[in-house]
Structure 1
Amino acid sequence: MSRHGLSAPFRQHGITARQLRTDHILDEAHHTADPGQLIRVFGLGVTKAVSYIRPAHPGRFATDPTSA
């Protein structure tokens, strides 16, 4: 199947495959506070997994002193 053939159903609904994947990862991040789960399921790196977990579970992480 061509790239165009794969993306056509997404375009019909006004989304991209990347947006759908991101939404799926964010949904999973809301269900688990374990970055290891995101790493195993989606093949993410540690930094990227934590970047999804942090906004989903803000109380789990201390305030980042570099962003204050």
Structure 2
Amino acid sequence: MLETTTGPAAPVFLSPEMLEEPEPVRGCDECGSLARGRDAEKDDPSRRTDLNILMRRHFRKH
């Protein structure tokens, strides 16, 4: 029988460039939309982080 353990996972460390907010690509409507949404979320750092992640994923399409 397989033995499983539960408990906290090891911490995740972000690289310095992941802590900076990405700049939208000029002329890209989707980048602009994500940046505007991020700027509107001044009081919600979790939502800002989510939008930054979406923007970084979107950059792969450029």
State TM-score, norm by structure 1: 0.24
The structure showing larger relative contact order (alpha-carbon pairs under 8 Å, at least 6 residues apart) is: 2
| Larger-Rg structure | 2
State TM-score, norm by structure 2: 0.26
**Structure with greater proportional helix content:** 1
